[in-house]
Amino acid sequence: MAIIGRLDAAMPEARIELDYRTPLELVVAVSLSAQTTDKRVNLVTPALFARFRTAADYAAAPVETLQTFIKTVGLFRNKAKNLKQLGQVLLERHGGEVPGRRSELAELPGVGNKTAGVVAMHLGTDFAFPVDTHILRLSYRLGLTTKRDPDGVERELQKLVPRPLWFQGHQLLIWHGRRCCDALRPQCHRCVVAELCPKKGVKQKQ
């Protein structure tokens, strides 16, 4: 696919920007990143991961204690409750381990379909092309889809992009959205796919 190829040539270093070492840390980090920047999440997770290393650690922790570790993250109170419940569910249903299938991941507290796709994709346990706000915006702007909901966009992208490129395409579109194709002020003058882009929804300068 030409768009993926050009973005890859321009940003071969594209990768997930959340710091993690284990499947559990990945689930927690991606869950915390909802409505919060990856940079902010990376500031709180070192202390959180040092204190809570297993599902049992999260399950046993008072919600108030968990809140103190993530209080600078958006929606921290609700996320603290989800972390405790996450630990409990992992213990009760999965032997304390993070499942690999996207469908099982999506059933975990604080883990929706998009987060489950991101986790499964990075663990290499299931195929996915999860759609975040950047991919949602770029997919429409680039004319890759007419859908405006994440699940609908993902289904169309999965048909359009060869499966071996799903992981790469997901990451590249996010990086392009963060570094060039801004929601309000897209930098079309320096965009490597500008000539392939119909610029749907972009206000043209008079």
Catalytic residues: 114, 132
Task: Please report, for residues 119, 182, 197, the alpha-carbon distance to residue 18 in angstroms, rounded to integers and kept in the order given.
Answer: 11, 20, 29
Give the DSSP letter of residue 75. T
Distance CA 3, CA 173 (A): 9
Closest CA to 90 of 63, 60, 64, 66: 60
User: Within its chain, how far is the Cα of 57 from the centroid?
Assistant: 24
Distance CA 134, CA 25 (A): 23
Task: Please report, for residues 43, 83, 120, 160, 177, the alpha-carbon distance to residue 69 in angstroms, rounded to integers and kept in the order given.
Answer: 10, 11, 26, 41, 29
Closest CA to 83 of 33, 34, 32: 32
